Amino acid sequence: METKKSLFSRLPIVAQLKKSMGLQRGMLIAGIVMTGLFLLTAALAPLLSPYGPTQRFNETQAPPSSAHLWGTTAGGYDVFSRTIWGTQTAVLVIVVAVALSIFIGVILGLLSGYIGGWLDRILVVLADAIYAFPTLLLAMVMSIAISKGQSNLWSGIFSAAISITVVFIPQYFRVIRAETIRLKAEPFVESAIVVGASSVRIMARHIYKNATRTLPLIFTLNASEAILTLAGLGFLGFGIEPSSAAEWGYDLNHAQSDAASGIWWTGVFPGAAIVLTVLGLTLLGESMNDLNDPRLRGRKRAGKKNGRKKNKELVDA
Amino acid sequence: MSRSTHTAAPQGEAAPRPVLDVDNLKVTFATDSGDVFAVKDVSFTVAPGEIVAIVGESGSGKTVTAKTILGLLPETAQSSGAVVISGNDVISVSPHQLRQIRGRDVAMVFQEPSTALNPVYTVGWQIAEGLRAHRPEGKRVGRKEARGLAIDALRKVGIPEPEKRVDYYPHQFSGGQKQRVVIAAALALNPGLIVADEPTTALDVTVQAEILELLRDLRDQYGTSIVLITHNMGVVADLADRVVVMFQGDVVEEASSEVLFAAPREEYTQKLLAAVPHLGRNSASAGFTERAFQDKEVLVRATDLEIEYPGRLGSPAFRAVDKVSFTISAGEVFGLVGESGSGKTTIGRAIAGLNRTTGGSLQVLGYEMRDYKERTFRPYRKDIGFVFQDPAASFNPHLTIGECVAEPLLIHTDMPRPAVTKKVEELLESVQLPRAYAKRFPHELSGGQRQRASLARGLALKPKLLIADEPTSALDVSVQAKVLELFRDIQAELGFAALFISHDLAVVDILAEWVGVLLKGKMVEQGIGSQIMGDPQDIYTKRLLASLPVPNPAEQAERRAVHQALLAAK
């Protein structure tokens, strides 16, 4: 029981929540609540939404009513259902995109950082080249190359996810590579070399775990970026077709002309969904980042009565 | 809580008003695991022109005390009591007043001179910064005037050609000169008190002797009081008038330095002083007349060994090791001594295959390191153990101690798991660690325990040769004494050969039968340990030995005279 509890309190978000206080705690909790709502909505989409994501109605551009809670679009879609189903698409894209890019990025980063030499140089130049490219343009090119206009749910999600992956791999690659190069000079890695461990063993056993500690942070921050990229692709018409899945970017694009004629409901709801989701994930990521850094973490003032007083000696200097 | 009225109180009969009066100081830090009491109850005073040393091991609160004097504690700290400097209580004054006190009444000399100076400004500018900030006599200090004052300050601390050097950048000075510059900056406004936090710890012994000399001169000439924070009992014996011994945030003992070293009252102080290695006592090679183990198999043979580090574009390669020849026979402990940059670590790393040799020959267990290939050298690795300097960094923080110690066994043998576990427990017991520690993580062990575990890992495969690179220099003296004793016992029992690398002559003498002295990559002298320590032949070895402070004020005063005579003769 004891070990289980300590394991639970060492889990990423839980550990930070325990350390936090004041404004930082408020931001973290706001982030957790928003992200939790987002995930919950995605999971319960079939129960929450009255209609399917691709269901069309005869009433177009109908204002909010009891039949259509948030009205309908010019294409005859129910805005409420589309917004709710949109969370599911977003979650799927995030999971696929981030999982793919973490996997490839970490492996390439470890190899490149540890082995070094010409492999490192080539990979760094490649990563820099991709990095220098405008993100959205690259994602567009990838999406055209992958989907070629086909658009059922999974191919749409995968083309969006893979085009985001291409942009994210260099980020993970760079973080892991920098950590690996730093760790390579650490005495514990040298002591493994001296013991006679093979390169694969050193990378897998000694460097991998130490280099990936910052990943949960990049993960949350990248998740919000993935949503924005997906929405951007959809807005520009390279995303998922409305007939295969609900996607906020596409809906926003088609709400553009409505806004001028006073039809506000088609744009506000998917827009607010994007803003809140991104805000939630960013709050979560940023406050976790701050809380993980002892210099940025706020603490209660010492000397005041605050529960446990451990008489532990301090390691000076 | 603070009592700022305290200062006005008369201090006994004719005693002059103290420059610094610390009274019932308590410092508490807020951490994730609750409050930590760094300083529990500390009181002491410093008279004008007095040098007071605060000594203690890591965690004793000495650095926190020093930082409180300057008001440099981080936000998470809460302090109470009084720290009175020339009438102002540092704990209760406003930030504005505190800024005025700093530099004018009290200045600080930091441990690491290379990080205490800003690399993008000239040293003259940095010395003058304090003058500009304080505007003595209410006037702005002009550029010319500031420069003149900076030159004066540099001259005071013995920098040659101060008129020219004032425009130099920090990287153009050596480590010792940088520390002189830091002291010059501290002196610029002629403060009555200097707080020196481990001012010589980052420096070599010969440079340390010069800096100690300088600090003494400053006191003698200008009457500056000095609070010296250090863990080095030799430095204390050399410089301090009075000593405050701290242990876990409390003052254990306070006495004049003659009294403290001659007759320590408290048990803790006695233990602390007994643990300090003393040159010439307890030598491993006492009474030897010829080299031991000469008849045994030669494990390492270096002939005209050269190791170069490639230079940057355009600059020549740096030769770290220059035509060094030596042998290590089976069962022998070879002590390699030298100051920083002498190439001693490079030689140790080259033997372990962590550095490539570039010239001459280095044979390790019969393997020629000139033709080094990781693949062909790997089988030899099981006969070589390595103990690193920093025990905290040489363990993978994600693996348990047991897993770390088991690693060589898993790689080089195909023992089944239960046998490995058993062997690991035996190894831990042989270095006097409880078996249960196999399940702990490195951060749950103290520095000394980690270094024991590191020794256990080095010895897991019963190597023929163990390379120990400054294994005790990151440890406190009392811990160091225990680790050295353990090393000595285990070596006697298992009979492995060892290359023991250290900058501390006294430590090397305790363990090594044969000692080599390195200077700038060259082996200037090698011979039987007790002979090198007792009757050095080379001028550099003589200087090195003379500059090593011993923990005994009377003896140290004599040694200081010898050292000065030696410098004068040069």
Measure the CA–CA gap between A189 and A192, rounded to whole angstroms.
Answer: 5
Q: What is the pLDDT of residue B133?
A: 78
Q: What is the pLDDT of residue B533?
A: 84
Taking CA atoms, B569 is separated from B16, B172, B539, in Å, by: 41, 28, 11
Q: Is the pLDDT of residue B44 over 50?
A: yes
Q: What are phi and psi of B336, to 5 degrees?
A: -110, 120
Fold classification of B1-105+193-278 is: Rossmann fold (3.40.50)
Q: Between the ranges A280-289, B69-78, B243-252, where is the mean pLDDT highest?
A: B243-252
Chain B positions touching A191 (Cβ under 8 A) are 386, 388, 394-395, 454, 457
Q: Is the Cβ of B367 closer than 8 Å to some Cβ of chain A? A: no
Q: What is the pLDDT of residue A315?
A: 37
Q: What are phi and psi of A233, to 5 degrees?
A: -60, -45
Residue of A nearest to B351 (CA): A194
Q: What is the pLDDT of residue A295?
A: 64
| Of residues A78, A137, A136, the one with CA closest to residue A270 | A78
Measure the CA–CA gap between B252 and B364, rounded to whole angstroms.
Answer: 50
Judge: A316–B63 Cβ closer than 8 Å, yes or no: yes
Q: What is the pLDDT of residue A149?
A: 55
Average pLDDT value over all residues in chain B:
85
- CA B193 to chain CA centroid, nearest Å: 24
* SS3 state of residue B310: coil
**Hey, which bits of B341-402 come out as E strands?**
359-364, 367-368, 384-387
Q: A51: Cβ–Cβ under 8 A, 6 or more apart, which residues?
A: A78, A81
| Of residues A277, A53, A248, the one with CA closest to residue A152 | A53
Q: Is the pLDDT of residue B14 over 70?
A: no
Strand B193-197 and strand B225-230: the pairing is parallel
Sheet of B359-364: strands edge to edge?
B318-329, B298-309, B359-364, B367-368
Q: Is the pLDDT of residue B319 over 70?
A: yes
Q: Are A204 and A180 in contact (CB under 8 A)?
A: no
Higher pLDDT: B190 or B55? It is B55
Higher pLDDT: A50 or A294? It is A50
Q: What is the pLDDT of residue B74?
A: 79
Q: B228: Cβ–Cβ under 8 A, 6 or more apart, which residues?
A: B51, B52, B53, B54, B196, B199, B215, B235, B236, B239, B240
Q: Is the Cβ of B67 closer than 8 Å to some Cβ of chain A? A: no
Judge: A302–B407 Cβ closer than 8 Å, yes or no: no
Q: B407: Cβ–Cβ under 8 A, 6 or more apart, which residues?
A: A192, A195, A197, B457
| Of residues B506, B553, B549, the one with CA closest to residue B211 | B549
Q: Is the pLDDT of residue A122 over 90?
A: yes
Nearest Cβ partner for A315 among B58, B198, B394: B58
In a mutational test of the B interface, the residue from A194, A201, A210 whose CB has the highest number of chain B CBs within 10 Å is A194
Q: Is the Cβ of A117 closer than 8 Å to some Cβ of chain B? A: no
Chain A positions touching B64 (Cβ under 8 A) are 314, 316
Residue of A nearest to B374 (CA): A196
Q: Could you tell me the two tokens for B546?
A: 């003379």
Q: Is the pLDDT of residue B137 over 70?
A: no
Taken in order A65, A67, A69, A71, the sign of the CA dihedral is negative
Measure the CA–CA gap between B379 and B463, rounded to whole angstroms.
Answer: 12
Average pLDDT over residues A188-197: 86
Q: Is the pLDDT of residue A303 over 50?
A: no
Q: Is the Cβ of A197 closer than 8 Å to some Cβ of chain B? A: yes
Q: Which residues pair with B300 in a beta bridge?
A: B328, B364
Q: What is the pLDDT of residue B51?
A: 92
Q: Tens digit of pLDDT for each residue in B520-567?
A: 888 999 888 888 888 888 888 888 888 888 888 888 888 888 888 888
Q: What one-letter code names the amino acid at B540? A: Y
Taking CA atoms, B140 is separated from B100, B137, B188, B205, B392, in Å, by: 15, 9, 15, 41, 49
Q: Are B250 and B42 in contact (CB under 8 A)?
A: yes
Q: Could you tell me the two tokens for B520?
A: 């700038």
Q: Tell me the nearest-neighbour CA distance from A255 into chain B, angstroms.
A: 50
Q: Is the Cβ of A196 closer than 8 Å to some Cβ of chain B? A: yes
Q: Is the Cβ of A310 closer than 8 Å to some Cβ of chain B? A: yes
Average pLDDT over residues A123-138: 84
Q: What is the pLDDT of residue B11?
A: 43
Q: What is the pLDDT of residue A199?
A: 86
Chain A positions touching B35 (Cβ under 8 A) are 302-303, 306, 309-310
Average pLDDT over residues B99-126: 86
Q: Radius of gyration (Cα) for chain B, nearest Å?
A: 26
Q: Tens digit of pLDDT for each residue in B232-270?
A: 888 898 889 999 999 888 899 999 988 898 888 888 888
> DSSP string spanning B176-230?
HHHHHHHHHHHHTT--SEEEEESTTTTS-HHHHHHHHHHHHHHHHHH--EEEEEE
What percent of chain A lies above the pLDDT cut of 90? Answer: 5
For chain B, give every residue range classified as CATH 3.40.50.300: 1-105+193-278, 298-397+449-535
Average pLDDT over residues A177-187: 88
Measure the CA–CA gap between A241 and A254, rounded to whole angstroms.
Answer: 12
Measure the CA–CA gap between B61 and B63, rounded to whole angstroms.
Answer: 6
Strand B242-247 and strand B20-31: the pairing is unpaired
In a mutational test of the B interface, the residue from A18, A183, A314 whose CB has the highest number of chain B CBs within 10 Å is A314
Q: Is the pLDDT of residue B84 over 70?
A: yes
Q: What is the pLDDT of residue A9?
A: 64
Higher pLDDT: A138 or B181? It is B181
Nearest Cβ partner for A316 among B58, B76, B381: B58
Total residues belonging to chain A: 317
Q: What are phi and psi of B92, to 5 degrees?
A: -105, -10
Q: Which residues pair with B108 in a beta bridge?
A: B195
Measure the CA–CA gap between B471 and B474, rounded to whole angstroms.
Answer: 7
| Of residues A171, A165, A170, the one with CA closest to residue A143 | A165
Average pLDDT over residues B361-385: 87
Measure the CA–CA gap between B199 and B201, rounded to whole angstroms.
Answer: 6
Q: Is the Cβ of A10 closer than 8 Å to some Cβ of chain B? A: no
Chain B positions touching A193 (Cβ under 8 A) are 353-354
Which residue is associated with the tokens 């267990």?
B365
DSSP tag of A206? I
> DSSP string spanning B403-465?
HHHHHHHHHH----HHHHHHHHHHHHHHTT--GGGGGS-GGGS-HHHHHHHHHHHHTTT--SE
Residue of B nearest to A199 (CA): B374
Q: Is the pLDDT of residue A283 over 60?
A: yes
Judge: A190–B354 Cβ closer than 8 Å, yes or no: yes
Chain A positions touching B60 (Cβ under 8 A) are 316
**Hey, which bits of B63-133 come out as E strands?**
77-85, 88-89, 106-109
Higher pLDDT: A19 or B539? It is B539
Sheet of B497-502: strands edge to edge?
B384-387, B465-469, B497-502, B333-338, B514-519, B522-528
Q: What are phi and psi of B377, to 5 degrees?
A: -85, -20
Q: In this structure, what is the dihedral angle of CA atoms B246, B250, B254, B259, given to the nearest 10 degrees?
A: -50
Q: Tell me the nearest-neighbour CA distance from B120 into chain A, angstroms.
A: 25
Q: Is the Cβ of B61 closer than 8 Å to some Cβ of chain A? A: yes
| Of residues B75, B32, B28, B33, the one with CA closest to residue A292 | B32
Nearest Cβ partner for A194 among B32, B381, B397: B381
Q: Domain B298-397+449-535 sits in which CATH superfamily?
A: P-loop containing nucleotide triphosphate hydrolases (3.40.50.300)
Fold classification of A14-292 is: MetI-like fold (1.10.3720)
Q: What is the pLDDT of residue B438?
A: 87
Taken in order A25, A27, A32, A37, the sign of the CA dihedral is positive
Measure the CA–CA gap between B289 and B529, rounded to whole angstroms.
Answer: 10
Q: Is the Cβ of A305 closer than 8 Å to some Cβ of chain B? A: no
Long-range contacts of B263-271 (CB under 8 A, 24+ apart): B269/B245, B271/B478
Average pLDDT over residues B366-392: 86
Chain B positions touching A301 (Cβ under 8 A) are 30, 76, 78
Residue ranges per domain, chain A?
A: 14-292
Q: What is the pLDDT of residue B393?
A: 84
